[in-house]
A and B are shown apart, each in its own frame.
Chain A
Amino acid sequence: KQEVTQIPAALSVPEGENLVLNCSFTDSAIYNLQWFRQDPGKGLTSLLLIQSSQREQTSGRLNASLDKSSGRSTLYIAASQPGDSATYLCAVFSTGNQFYFGTGTSLTVIP
């Protein structure tokens, strides 16, 4: 069964810093990988979707990369802001038409 891991579980950085969040998965047979943001007590908001044939996707200050062969994805956030504080989750869409989620990285950006 696919397992998705996100390390670290929590991260605290000063405002303005560039940062990288990590996501790893055990089975490289994925169709896509999606990054989400979740604010406390709210649902998940999609940030970026990378199809299995793609290497990266960019949206504003966010850049997500995918290396299927090594089972890894990174979410790069440039020039972090306090409003970026949230939990970030990754999910892979994998064989069996199932989505598998990591448990998330809780990000705090300190003003």
Chain B
Amino acid sequence: DVKVTQSSRYLVKRTGEKVFLECVQDMDHENMFWYRQDPGLGLRLIYFSYDVKMKEKGDIPEGYSVSREKKERFSLILESASTNQTSMYLCASSDGTGAEKLFFGSGTQLSVL
């Protein structure tokens, strides 16, 4: 079965720390996405990638960067974590064929203290 795996379910970090969120998909999908989800604001797109080593900014990229060195892995990096980055982070992938069924990981709840 299709699987998108996020490395951590819960993370607690300190303000100013560098934080890595990892996402791996086993479906050979072209497209990968990082969203954050906050109560009342819904899902907001941070970054996405349509190919290896390729990245595009989403709606709220400030304070984040990404890395896609291999097709199956898409990493989200918080260069210097801040309290307003406390959120649920969701990784997703789609096949890029046009059918574009979106598959999500189980999410990482990040708390920045």
Contacts and interface: CB of A to CB of B under 8 A. Distances in A.
Nearest to B10: A41
A94 B36 CA distance: 20
Interface residues of B, number: 23
Interface stretch (B14-22, B75-83, B95-103): B95-103
Chain A's interface size range is 20 to 34
B74 to A, nearest CB: 15
B102 A34 contact: yes
B86 interface: no
A103 B45 CA distance: 13
Contacts of B92: 44
Interface in B18-62: 33, 40-43, 45, 50
A49 B4 CA distance: 18
Interface in A9-57: 31-32, 34, 36, 41-46, 49, 51
Contacts of B106: 42-43
Main secondary structure of the interface of A (DSSP, over half): strand
Nearest to A93: B100
A34 B107 contact: no
Nearest to A41: B109
A99 B33 contact: yes
Given A31-B100, A32-B99, A93-B100, A104 B107 contact: no
Contacts of B98: 31
A102 B42 contact: yes
Nearest to A98: B45
B100 A43 contact: no
Contact of B101 (A46, A97, A101, A103): A46
Q: Which 7 A-B pairs have the closest CB atoms?
A: A103-B42, A43-B104, A44-B104, A43-B106, A43-B107, A101-B43, A93-B100
Interface of B: 4, 6, 33, 40-43, 45, 50, 88, 90, 92, 98-107, 109
